[in-house]
Structure formats: C-alpha cells, structure tokens
Chain A
C-alpha cells in the first residue's frame, strides 16, 4: 500500500474495506461507514488530543543535535506531567526515514537535554540506549507551556509537509495525552455524530494515551505498544452495559479503544468506569470480551496494530483482505483509508451448513456487518 501523504482527515474519496463477521470482504466508500451501524449499536471513540511530542534540541554533554520523541507515560496528566518514556533520535527531522536517522549520542543517567524552553533530565535507559525515561524540569505550568509552544506533532517521512497540531487533533479531541493521533477518529465529525444519534445509535468516548507507533529500530518496534494508561468515564461504562443488555454491538473507533475496553473488561467482560493501564497485547490469542467490531486504519503486516486485528478475524481472512487493499489501491498510515472488521463468528459446523440461506454470508442489500443470526447461535 502507498501512504496518504496529505493531512486531510476526511478525504471525500476515502475507501472502506468491510470484513463481516463471517470473514466476507467488501469495498465501500468510507462516507458510507454509518450505513453499517444499526439502531442500539454503541460507537466508542478515543477522545485523546495529540501532544506535540517531538522536541528538538541539544544533548548537553556532547552538544549534538537531537530529537526527543515523547512516546509514552504511566499516568495520565494532570497527575503526571514530568515523567515520560521517550525515544531519542540523532540529528535531522521527520523528512529522513526513521530507519535512516543518524544515531544519537548515548546518554547516561543525569544527562540534560536542552529542548527549547524545556530541560529534560535522563533518568535511565530502558533496556535500549535510545529508549529513555526522562524527567521534564520545572513547574507543571512551565512544562505544559514548553511542550505547547516548542513541540511539534510526531510525524514520519511519508508526509510531504510539516504537520500542525490542528492537522492531528480529531474533532472530538479533549485531554492532551496521546503521543500520536488516535487517527481512526479522523472519520468522525459533528455532522456524522448528529446523524448517528438521530438514528438511535449511541456515542461515547474514553481517553487512551496512545503511544508512539514506530521508532525505526526493529528491537524497539518489537516492544510496541508500550503500556498505555486510559480513563473510561462512568457514563461510557454505563452505556456499554446498556448496549449489551439491549443486544446492541460495541463498535470501537480505533485500536486504542479496543485495547482500553478489553483491558477494562478482561476479567468478566464487564467494563467499569475509572482509570487503568492497558498492558496486554491483543492478537490472535485474544478472546474479545467487550468489543464486537473495530473501525481502523489500514495497517501493514508486522505492526502491532495489524496484529491486534487478528483478534477479530482469522489470519487467512486478513491475508485476503491485504490482497484486496493492495489491489484496490488503498492508502495507508494515519490519513489513509480504513477497514471495518466485525468480530469473527464461530459457527458450529452443523449450524453453518444447515442454515446456509440465513447463516451464510450475512450481507444485506448494502453489505452490512450483521449480528449473528439468532437461528444460528441457538442451533
């Protein structure tokens, strides 16, 4: 797939690949996404605003130019404003592919990084010389102002021009706690939210501090995603319970929402409001207990986002989908096209063969993802 190279959140020609709960694949314009939602469904999105987490400056002991990318945190602000996990890059900026960036100096604990108005002190390396725990110096007000004024959004070489913060904030962006945009949410605007509400589809948010998605270092990339804190409002938890009780589906807008909800419901499938830290990887071994479908960007095999999709669909289905994405010219990365995947339905064999007319492919005229037919689930 080729990357989307312009920061347009809702391109009119955006595509949507739909994988229904039987593994059947279909193409649709992304503007028709809401056609796949049904009354009593609940749409849950991540309302984290994106921090300008790329901070350029100098490694004080050597005088070398560096870029520090804040990459994760263990606690949400405002509780934490100081302590971050961060990835250090050598001289240069996003225009150079991360894999080709010159190595940074090897910082040791106590080294200071002078980042415009900010000073970061290296606390330690976390198992890799470029993955650091840093402590930003100064008062909370000074740190926030420094980040707000000096930081730039983290971006990658596929983008043609520098991103502004407004390019990466979703329409629903609230708490500034994400290190990269929860970009599945780019599909949402107020028009869409009003339209789904009028159809009886509920909307809720949670806040998940989405971490960095790529470091350019295979060893580090293999450790992604880092632990990510999240906050689920009590109103959202209540809506999830109500949706379940009414037989509606919980539809996650973005992989971060899947991660937060499945972490919160990992014991008994019940999501309670409050804060938590998503520590577990979601993948082919995961049994999803909360989320029924996910809207996501198109992801390249090998990434943690791609791995997460295996919790929804079988590897063979995803491999087919990859071929479809490539053949139909889908674009990838944060401003690219989207996939909408319903959680696979495991049919007893007798059921699948006995009820072929209703239990087989479940597309309606417009190719919706449908809930499992009752006839089948009780067979």
Chain B
C-alpha cells in the first residue's frame, strides 16, 4: 500500500519538546522505539513501557535520562503500577502515546477462524489497555492542562480501523474501537484542555508488519523513523503554542480514510 502523508513533516517547533513529559507504550520496538529515540533526541523527558525487561534495560542504558517501565498494558493489574512509575519518574505527564498493539492471530486469519481468545487479546491490548492507562493518567494530564502545559493523548490507529480488510478482523475491529474511543474522549474532555488524537502511521517496516505480511518487501514500507517524525509534528501542533491543523482539530481527523489496501 502507498503510505499517504497526512502530516506536514516540516516541524520547526522542536523546542516545544524540550522538557516535555511523554510516555510511550510499546516503546521498545517498531514505531514505539522510533518515537522514544526521536523524543529523546529533542530533549523530551520520556518514559517508555514494554514487557521485556532486558530490552527495556538496554534502551534505558542507551538513552540516558529515559525512564523504562516494565509492564504489560493488556493486563489490568499492571496498569496502576505502570502509571505510578511513569508519574513518579517523570514528575507528571503532558503527552501519552498509546502505541502498544497486538495483531491478533498469527498468521492472520479470517474472523470465522479467529479464536475468541485471540480477539480478546487484541481488544485487551488495543482497546482496554489504552482506555485503562488513559483513565489512570487523566488526573496528571488534567493537572498539566490546568498549568498551561497542555495535555495530549495520541492513540496509534490504522487504516484497518476504517477499511474492512479480510483476515485483519481482530486487529481492525480493535483499532476501530480505539479510534472511536479517541473521538469520544476528545469530545468529552476538550473543555478540560485535554486533547486526543488518533494517528495512522501508515504501513511501516516493523516487527508487527512482518508478522502480518511476512512476504512484504521492507524497501516498499515506510521507515518507522519517518513516521515518528510525522507524529511529533502532529503532537507539536496539538500542544499549546502549536498550530493545530484543522484536519486534526476535528478530533482525530488524521486517520486517513482514503489510504489504499493494507495488504501488500
């Protein structure tokens, strides 16, 4: 699929990231780690969450000053321990990026062949996880908004959230739910100064994509670093002092409804 550019890649607002407190879930691979690196480079104060302890520790060593938190956002019991560690180590939070995603059955399967447990796991990771983590962090985010720092939640979406691709049922349905949650959150909490964005990075060369489409030629896929830079542009635009493009101001309008088939 052609990854479409929806976000102006010219940033020019990197100073907005200096000292910005950002948490990224799924922060040790794919788009997540690209976001963490880019944010770290721009002097943001970054916490990242992932399940693998060794990889978390390795990245933490690599990027001095980042806060690695070991946890699984799909597990209800992990949410408050994760939240506590993020807030304790960053001293507050301005931006949450719910990036951790579960693909569903591997290899991809028709819905009729998808086990209930596989759908459940996709919903736990892609819908309930972001919902719970957002709720737990909302007090801190609202405080940041009241203090004029802004408060933003970015949920990583996909064109599979709007287009009915056969064999992407668990993933697509869960991302559709996340996308709609994002829009409702945004409608409900805008008056508190808390913004929600649903962003579709496009088809990237990531471990998740390799699981889904092992035969895809990486050279034809978007590089996660490029997607990360686009995300940061959108984030900068949505924070106070940023210029929020009208397409984003609609509340998650960035999800591209025109993009082509996700299956290569």
Question: Which residues of A come within 8 Å of B, CB atoms?
Answer: 47, 49, 51-52, 77-78, 81, 140-141, 144-145, 147-149, 164-166, 169-176, 190, 193-194, 197, 203-205, 233-236
Contact = CB atoms under 8 A, between A and B. Distances in A.
B79 to A, nearest CB: 8
Contacts of B139: 47, 49, 169-174
**Chief secondary structure at chain A's binding surface:** mixed
B140 A175 contact: yes
Contacts of B188: 190
Most A CB within 10 A of own CB, among B85, B89, B91, B143: B143
A165 B88 contact: no
Contacts, number: 89
Contacts of A193: 192
Given A77-B88, A176-B88, A47 B143 contact: yes
A175 B91 contact: yes
B80 A165 contact: yes
A334 to B, nearest CB: 17
B106 interface: no
Contact of A49 (B60, B84, B89, B91): B84
A140 B60 CA distance: 13
B72 to A, nearest CB: 12
Nearest to A273: B147
B140 A174 contact: yes
7 tightest CB-CB pairs across the interface, nearest first? A148-B81, A174-B140, A165-B80, A172-B139, A173-B139, A174-B139, A148-B84
B87 to A, nearest CB: 6
B67 interface: yes
A175 B82 CA distance: 13
Given A47-B139, A49-B139, A190-B189, A78 B146 contact: no
Chain B interface helix/strand/loop/mixed: helix
Contacts of A49: 83-84, 87, 139
Interface residues of B, number: 31
A270 B209 CA distance: 58
B169 interface: no
A19 B15 CA distance: 51
B146 A166 contact: no
Contacts of A148: 80-82, 84-85
Nearest to B88: A144
A317 B146 CA distance: 37
A169 B146 contact: no
Nearest to B77: A164
B251 interface: no
Given A145-B70, A171-B138, A175-B92, A190 B85 contact: no
Contact of B143 (A147, A165, A166, A233): A233
Contacts of B81: 145, 148-149, 165
B162 interface: no
Contacts of A47: 139-140, 143
A234 B188 CA distance: 26
A364 to B, nearest CB: 28
A51 B84 contact: yes
A234 to B, nearest CB: 8
Contacts of A51: 84
Contacts of A173: 139-140
B142 interface: yes
Given A144-B89, A194-B192, 4 more contacts: A78-B89, A174-B140, A176-B84, A204-B146
A78 to B, nearest CB: 5
B140 to A, nearest CB: 4
A168 to B, nearest CB: 10
Nearest to A185: B139
Given A47-B139, A148-B84, A190 B192 contact: yes
23 contacts: A47-B139, A47-B143, A49-B83, A77-B91, A78-B88, A144-B85, A145-B70, A148-B81, A148-B85, A164-B80, A165-B84, A166-B136, A169-B80, A169-B139, A171-B138, A172-B142, A176-B84, A193-B192, A194-B192, A233-B143, A233-B146, A235-B146, A236-B146
A47 B90 CA distance: 16
Nearest to B141: A174
Interface in B140-185: 140, 142-143, 146-148
Contact of B89 (A141, A194, A234): A141
Nearest to B143: A174
Contacts of B70: 145
Nearest to A143: B88
Given A145-B70, A169-B80, A205-B143, A174 B87 contact: yes
A197 B191 contact: yes
B130 interface: no
A145 B85 contact: yes
A148 B79 CA distance: 10
B68 interface: yes
A123 B60 CA distance: 31
